[in-house]
């Protein structure tokens, strides 16, 4: 494991300890689930952890139970920070720094675990397409309303900036997020044929993916599997899920496609993220700078 992965595994262990203590159910998704099946741990080149909880249990964890975590593990979500435009929360180790290229004060974190809510989607195709059209509009508006001013380099960027300023003058920063949460939580996953975790990256953010189907039944039951020096929960029907998500998931990708897509700019497992947040706020760090390689122990 890399030092980042070691820290993230520590965060995951604390989260699962609290979830299990309170009878909440989770399972690993995305690269974490794939890593558990294919590598019995992290994908060697991965640098994050993804888990999902049913919506009601997610909200209980997000609003109340997260406070049972150790004090150095902090929650970051759309209610905690205006620039944070994601629809899921991060639990991060504030004694470390793992900072992405698009981060600004209010989005700075340490080594983190992404925690998603699991929601249902309309079963009928036409309703699903209508649902997605609303989702896409609200998501784009939310990003522009919460966006931090950036250097304008093209007419397109100028148009985005103008649109964002109009939204900031008309709506409070949580307006579109609240609308999105109502839309996403409208369909109980236990009553729907298909499921989605909001903010599920390229698998929900592209117009052509509104027909990508993750069946709800795949996530209703979980099994424990080895993950590094511990065990984690993954969907019992992980084969169906991973095949839909990745295709031939046991086949390693070409070497030139192995790597993080999180655009990490600062990876420092020995320095609290607040230190870098202050430097970025003071303009002393260029967030467009070349990647700073992870410190080795």
User: What does pLDDT average to over the chain?
Assistant: 87
Residue 65 inside a domain? The answer is yes
Q: How confident is the model at residue 288 (pLDDT cuts 50, 70, 90)?
A: low
Indicate whether 104 belongs to any domain: yes
Specify the range with the lowest mean pLDDT, choosing from 142-151, 152-161, 191-200. Answer: 191-200
Is 91 part of any domain?
Answer: yes
The rounded percent of the chain whose pLDDT value lies above 70 is 90
pLDDT, mean of residues 32-37:
97
Query: Residue 41 to residues 9, 12, 110, 111: CA-CA distances in angstroms?
Result: 10, 12, 21, 17
In this prediction, residues 190-202 reach a mean pLDDT of: 74
Range of the domain at 220: 3-119+195-200+216-281
Element housing 34 (H / E): helix 30-38
Flag whether pLDDT at 85 surpasses 90. Answer: no
Q: Report the domain count for the chain.
A: 1
**CATH code for position 76:** 3.30.460
How many Cβ atoms from other residues are within 10 Å of residue 23's Cβ? Answer: 7
Tokens of 238: 């992980």
pTM of the entire predicted model: 0.90
Looking at residue 74, what is its pLDDT? 97
Separation between Cα atoms, residue 102 and residue 80, nearest integer Å? 17
CA 229 to chain centre: 24
User: pLDDT tens digit string along 91-119?
Assistant: 999 999 998 877 777 789 999 999 999 99
Is the CB of residue 112 less than 8 Å from the CB of residue 47?
Answer: no
**In whole angstroms, what is the distance from residue 69 CA to residue 91 CA?**
9
What is the tens place of the pLDDT at every residue in 266-278?
A: 899 999 999 998 9
Overall average pLDDT of the 126-137 stretch: 87
Would you say residue 152 lies in a domain?
Answer: no
The yes-or-no verdict on residue 213 having pLDDT over 80 is: no
């Amino acid at each position: 494991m890399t030092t980042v992965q070691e820290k993230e595994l520590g965060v995951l262990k604390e989260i699962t300890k609290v979830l299990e203590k309170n009878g909440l159910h989770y399972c690993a998704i995305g690269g974490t689930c794939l890593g558990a099946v294919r590598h019995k741990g992290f994908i060697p080149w991965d640098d994050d952890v993804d888990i999902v909880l049913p919506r009601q249990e997610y909200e209980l964890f997000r609003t109340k139970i997260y406070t049972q975590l150790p004090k150095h593990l902090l929650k970051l979500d759309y209610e905690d920070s205006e620039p944070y435009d994601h629809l899921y929360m991060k639990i991060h180790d504030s004694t470390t720094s793992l900072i992405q290229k698009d981060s600004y004060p209010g989005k700075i974190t340490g080594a983190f675990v992404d925690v998603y809510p699991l929601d249902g989607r309309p079963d009928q195709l036409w309703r699903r397409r209508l649902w997605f059209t609303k989702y896409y509009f609200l998501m784009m508006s939310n990003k522009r309303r919460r966006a931090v001013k950036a250097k304008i380099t093209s007419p397109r960027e100028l148009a985005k900036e103008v649109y964002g300023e109009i939204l900031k003058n008309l709506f409070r920063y949580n307006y579109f997020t609240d609308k999105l949460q109502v839309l996403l939580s409208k369909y109980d996953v236990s009553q729907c044929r298909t499921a989605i975790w909001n903010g599920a990256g390229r698998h929900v953010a592209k117009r052509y993916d509104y027909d990508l189907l993750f069946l709800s039944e795949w996530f209703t039951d979980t099994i424990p599997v080895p993950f590094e020096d511990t065990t984690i929960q993954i969907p019992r029907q992980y084969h169906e899920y991973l095949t839909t998500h990745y295709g031939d998931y046991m086949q390693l990708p070409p070497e030139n496609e192995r790597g993080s897509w999180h655009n990490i700019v600062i990876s420092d497992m020995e320095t609290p993220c607040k230190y870098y947040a202050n430097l970025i706020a003071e303009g002393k760090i260029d967030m467009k700078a070349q990647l700073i390689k992870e410190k080795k122990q």
